[in-house]
């Protein structure tokens, strides 16, 4: 596991964003862990998170001209990542969408910079892939080119369709259907390696449950 990935998992655990126990997912699965990016909810945490996004994006080698954040969580993620990129010497525009179009002021559904060139979508996770699909449609409709997606955590688990497990994860479906790279700051595999190397017995105790979940639902 790269140092950046390990640091991100540790940061998420310390921030209470990554928690362990028993949680029911959108798919109805009983998960031993829960990742809630909405809890990166103060300036210091958001700033650190944005640094992880920015460095991961730069390290990925994906070429891009601007950022796009899907409403709602993507709005702060893309904005903060743009600030972090500028601090690293990569000043790029960003935009985001509103759920309902305005007919006054700047109007429309897109706020921020004009969508043009190669656009990276910044989001927290990909569960069903709905916000990514909507973002791709918005970007293409503006005449720009979606070139990749950057997320915080790849759960690496099978997607569901009509209550049935699919062969691929939602991330893999996005990559295959749209031909776009999805770059995650960390993955479930990174989380397992983090728990494996824990000196804190309270955290290490969750490794068997997370491993069993990966073995049952993983891709």
- Structural domain boundaries enclosing 169: 3-217
List 88, 90, 99, 104, catalytic entry: 104
pLDDT for 46 = 97
Instruction: State the pTM of this model.
Output: 0.93
> Could you list the mean pLDDT of each consecutive 10-residue stretch along the chain, which spans 219 residues?
89 97 91 95 97 98 97 95 98 90 60 97 90 94 97 95 89 94 97 95 96 95
pLDDT value, residue 107: 46
The reported pLDDT for the residue numbered 129 is 82
What is the number of domains present in the chain? 1
Q: What is the pLDDT of residue 84?
A: 98
Cis peptide bond upstream of 72, omega within 30: yes
134 within 8 A of 176, measured Cβ to Cβ: no
pLDDT at residue 62, as a whole number: 97
pLDDT at res. 101:
61
Query: Can you give the CATH number for the domain in which 44 is found?
Result: 3.40.50.2020
Residue 104 annotated among the catalytic residues of the structure: yes
Q: Which of 88, 90, 102, 177 is catalytic?
A: 102
Task: Clarify whether 102 is annotated catalytic.
Answer: yes
- Number of CB atoms found within 10 A of residue 173's CB: 20
Q: 122 - beta bridge partners?
A: 150
């Amino acid at each position: 596991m790269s140092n950046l990935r390990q640091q991100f998992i540790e940061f998420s655990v310390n921030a209470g964003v990554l928690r362990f126990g028993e949680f029911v997912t959108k798919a109805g699965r009983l998960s031993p862990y829960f990742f809630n990016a909405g809890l990166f909810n103060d300036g210091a945490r958001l700033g650190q998170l944005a640094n992880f996004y920015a460095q991961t994006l730069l390290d990925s080698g994906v070429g891009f001209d601007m950022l796009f954040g899907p409403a709602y969580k993507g709005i702060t993620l893309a904005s903060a990542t743009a600030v972090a990129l500028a601090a690293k010497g990569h000043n790029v525009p960003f935009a985001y969408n509103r759920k309902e179009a305005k007919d006054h002021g700047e109007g429309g559904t897109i706020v921020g910079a004009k969508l043009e060139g190669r656009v990276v979508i910044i989001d927290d996770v990909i569960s069903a892939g709905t916000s990514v699909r909507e973002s791709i449609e918005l970007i293409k409709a503006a005449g720009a080119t979606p070139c990749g997606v950057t997320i915080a955590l790849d759960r690496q688990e099978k997607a569901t369709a009509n209550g049935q497990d699919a062969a691929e994860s939602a991330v893999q479906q996005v990559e295959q259907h749209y031909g776009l790279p999805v770059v995650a700051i960390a993955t479930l595999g990174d989380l397992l390696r983090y728990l494996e190397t824990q000196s804190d017995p309270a955290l290490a105790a969750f490794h068997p449950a997370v491993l069993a979940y990966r073995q049952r639902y993983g891709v």
